[in-house]
Amino acid sequence: MVHQFDVIIVGAGGAGLRAAVEIPSGYSCAVLTKVHPLRSHTGAAQGGVCAALGNLEEDNPEWHAFDTVKGSDYLGDQDAIEVMCNDAPRAIVELEHMGMPFSRTDEGKIAQRRFGGHTRPLDPDDPDSKRVAVMRACYSADRTGLVMLHTLYENCIKNNVRFFSEYFVTELLVENGVCSGVVAIEILTGEIHTFHAKAVMFATGGDGRIWRITSNAHVGTGDGFMMAYNAGLPLEDMEFMQFHPTGLWKLGILVSEAARGEGGILRNKSGERFMERYAPTVKDLAPRDMVSRAIIQEIREGRGIQGSDGTSYVNLDLTHLDAKIINEKLPEITGFARTYLGVEPTKEGVPIQPTAHYAMGGIPTDVDGRVRLDNKDGIVRGFYAAGECACVSVHGANRLGTNSLLDLIVFGRRGGKAITEFLKSGAELPKLKADAGEWTKAKVAEIKFRQSGEKPAPIRTELQQIMMDECGIFRDAKGLQKAANRIEKLRQQYKNVVIDDKGLQFNTDLLEAIELGNLLDTAKVVVACALNRNESRGGHSREDFPERDDQNWMKHTFAWNNGEAAPKIDYRPVSVTKYKPKKRVY
């Protein structure tokens, strides 16, 4: 079946829904999502969304931009960062007007709290003075993403946006630099649909499921990355994956940085507040890459706490916090600790370990969501991306907490505006790619009708473990090469993948098998890019190249599909406006 729309948005998280709200009602717009919109991972976001509102202490967007540049380890594009930070206060007020129920101060203003890496100079007139943590994160208890997602969804319903829920998109149709639509499997019936459109936006989220310990939802399988990559488009900075310091031990379920923003402290085996040694000024509120490395170092040097199974963790101590703060501001995450680990956070430390959390890299775009065709200034006509699947790049080598929800609403809106301009300029329906749907049909047939072969689950488990072991927080050439070889073997095994369910309706076996292909191929790109970057920067820490090397590596990686061989790699310069690279100390 072929559908025609002016705009197709793939993904119903914060980025996709914010873009959809922006499309004027005179144009037909449909959002496709493989899960119900309200089950998108944005709904799991806990801690907050930042803007220099200055509701509780002096703040300004320039300080926010400086923090974001420094947090990115100077890999973020500074022009894009300025766009985001300057637009943040407006974006928050807009959400409030859409109906988002923020937590409030006693005077009724939007409440704000501290988050890692967000600072202000102690002397506002001297930007070089000592910097201390600032209250910049707006929040709704520890359910910020959930209420944001609900607010945006309600606004989409109000604007008559059409939803195709539980449609699994498998192909991006791009030919000669022009995008003509997507192909999707309707999960309920197994039917294959073609969506022919003037403009397509990807807002497909991240790829955290490549790693065994992750905070990401099961849908975070990098589908958007691989559809773009397989359509011949480049991916940017895929080596940069953020490990969040505080995942529940062994499970990876996130305990928001808000816990430390509200005063929580990390402690090692002897109860020491070890972050004082690594980041003397901001301590537990250092950026995530640094805190995650510090935790692993404590464990490696024998100062972790050993669990019954031999693996180690450190404690997140909230016991000194007022019960009122815990109950009113951190109800969800303390509930997780009780439910999943059986610990009582008001009385004892919460065992935590770093967890794979956020893809800084992705589909390269300009500040208006237009997808780059190459590492120069080429643009794919009619194709846009926003949110975690996109790389603008505002997060560079390491994202600051609460900057992602901000990225969704700033660049989701800008992408929506750019699409509207494109439609108003008289964009026509492009010629539909001739072989639309052929790949999907062949793939489904091949997987379903194979009678014997390799089951997906063991392949996935092995992939996730090798990525944890060799392409996690610390990396080196030897380990990465081992991972590359292993992934290649798993990719060969996958060519013979077999599933039990041969039916049409709700064939989740089939979908998981297709997702596994995306996981394997995304991991291949991540590892190749990590092996290629011979320096340590932000979330990419090479033990064989422990220093940041601005001379040779202050540039974005661009990777293209090179068939069975490792991806083809080239670079794009970082945009620098006013912040010259400095050593990163906190």
Residue-by-residue DSSP string for 76-119: S-HHHHHHHHHHHHHHHHHHHHHT----B-TTSSBPEEEEEEEE
The vertex-347 CA angle with 342 and 352, nearest 5°, equals 55
Q: At what angle do helices 403-424 and 144-158 cross, to 10 degrees?
A: 20
Of the pair 131, 136, the CB lying nearest ligand FAD is at: 136
Instruction: Annotate each residue in 142-161 with x if it binds ligand FAD (CB under 6 A) or - if it does not, as one string.
Output: --xx----------------
Question: Considering beta carbons, is residue 44 or 394 the nearer one to ligand FAD?
Answer: 44
Question: Which CB atom, from 331 or from 546, has the smaller least distance to ligand FAD?
Answer: 331
Q: Among residue numbers 49 through 88, which ones bind ligand FAD (CB under 6 A)?
A: 49
Residue 264 is a binding residue for ligand FAD (CB under 6 A): no
DSSP letters spanning 439-468: HHHHHHHHHHH--SSB-HHHHHHHHHHHHH
Contact 89, 61 (CB under 8 A): yes
For 16, how many CA atoms within 13 A lie in the half-sphere containing its CB?
Answer: 34
Q: In the bound complex, which residue of the shown chain has the CB atom lying closest to ligand FAD?
A: 13
Quick one: which of 250, 213, 173 has its CA closest to 2? 173
Q: Which of 204, 246, 375, 536 binds ligand FAD (CB under 6 A)?
A: 204
C-beta separation of 192 from 183 below 8 A:
yes
Tell me how far, at minimum, the Cβ of 29 lies from ligand FAD, in Å. Answer: 15
464-523 residues in contact with ligand FAD (CB under 6 A) are none
Residue closer to ligand FAD, measured from CB, 215 or 292: 215
The single residue among 7, 8, 9, 15 that binds ligand FAD, judged by CB under 6 A, is 15
| Residue 13 lies near ligand FAD (rule: CB under 6 A) | yes
DSSP 40: S
Of 390 and 531, CB closest to ligand FAD? 390
Which region holds residue 387: left if phi is over 0, alpha if psi is between -120 and 50, else beta? left
Beta carbon of residue 182, minimum distance to ligand FAD (angstroms, whole number): 8
- Catalytic residue, from 288, 293, 413, 537: name it: 288
Residues 238, 557 contacting (CB under 8 angstroms) = yes
When binding is defined by CB under 6 A, the residue of 333, 405, 447, 529 that contacts ligand FAD is: 405
Query: What is each CA distance from 309 to 249, 312, 313, in whole angstroms?
Result: 11, 9, 11
**Least distance to ligand FAD, CB of residue 327, Å:** 19
| Closest by Cα among 327, 319, 317, 301 to 351 | 317
Among 21, 53, 172, 203, binds ligand FAD (CB under 6 A): 203
Residues between 212 and 241 with contacts to ligand FAD, criterion CB under 6 A: 215-216, 219, 223-224
Nearer to ligand FAD, 138 or 531 (CB): 138
Figure out which of the listed residues 6, 9, 11, 383 binds ligand FAD, where binding follows CB under 6 A.
Answer: 11
C-beta of 209 vs 537, nearer to ligand FAD:
209
Burial of 562 (0-12, 13-18, 19+ CB in 10 A): exposed
Site for ligand FAD in 304-363 (CB under 6 A): 358
Query: From the CB of residue 461, how many other CB atoms can be counted at a distance below 10 Å?
Result: 11
Name which position in 14, 116, 181, 234 contacts ligand FAD (CB under 6 A): 14
Q: How far apart are CA 348 and CA 528, in angstroms?
A: 42
C-alpha 522/C-alpha 125 separation (Å) is 46
Between 289 and 535, name the residue whose CB sits nearer to ligand FAD: 289
Piece of the chain touching ligand FAD by CB under 6 A; list 404-412, 413-421, 460-468, 544-552 = 404-412
369-407 burial: b if 16+ Cβ within 10 Å, else e:
bbbbbbbeeebbbbbbbbbbbbbbbbbbbbbbbbbbbbb
CB of 557 to ligand FAD, least distance (A): 20
- As measured in angstroms, the least distance from the Cβ of 406 to ligand FAD is 6
| Min CB(41)–ligand FAD separation in Å | 3
Residue with Cβ nearer ligand FAD (48 or 54) = 48
Binding to ligand FAD (CB under 6 A) within 163-202 occurs at 168-169
Q: Which two tokens stand for residue 454?
A: 């390799």
Window 29-48: contact mask with ligand FAD (x via CB under 6 A)? ---xxxx----xxx-xxxxx
In the shown chain, the binding pattern of residues 90 to 129 toward ligand FAD, with x for contact by CB under 6 A and - for none, equals ----------------------------------------
HEC string for 343-402:
CCCCCCCEEEEEEEEEECCEEEECCCCEEECCCCCCEEEEEEECHHHEECCCCCCCCCCC
Check if 288 is active-site. Answer: yes
Query: x-or-dash pattern for ligand FAD, window 554-583, by CB under 6 A?
Result: ------------------------------
Give the nearer residue to ligand FAD in terms of CB position, either 40 or 103: 40
CB of 32 to ligand FAD, least distance (A): 5
Q: Work out whether 444 is an interface residue with ligand FAD (CB under 6 A).
A: no
Using CB under 6 A as the binding criterion, the count of chain residues that bind ligand FAD stands at 43
534 contacts: CB under 8 Å, gap ≥ 6: 542, 544, 545, 549, 552, 553
In whole angstroms, what is the distance from residue 586 CA to residue 277 CA?
A: 11
Contact range with ligand FAD by CB under 6 A, out of 290-298, 333-341, 368-376, 386-394: 386-394
**What is the number of alpha carbons within 13 Å of residue 94 lying toward its C-beta?**
16
Cross-strand bridge partners of residue 569 = 559
Instruction: Name the minimum Å distance from CB 535 to ligand FAD.
Output: 25
Residue of 245, 252, 345, 387 that binds ligand FAD (CB under 6 A): 387
The residue (of 44 and 444) whose beta carbon lies closer to ligand FAD is: 44
Tell me if the bond preceding 536 is cis, omega within 30° of 0.
no
288 and 279 Cβ atoms separated by less than 8 Å: no
Distance (Å, rounded) from C-alpha 362 to C-alpha 395? 11
User: Catalytic residue positions?
Assistant: 288
In the complex, the residues that contact ligand FAD under the rule CB under 6 A are 10-16, 32-35, 40-42, 44-49, 144-145, 168-169, 203-205, 215-216, 219, 223-224, 254, 256, 358, 387-389, 402-405, 408
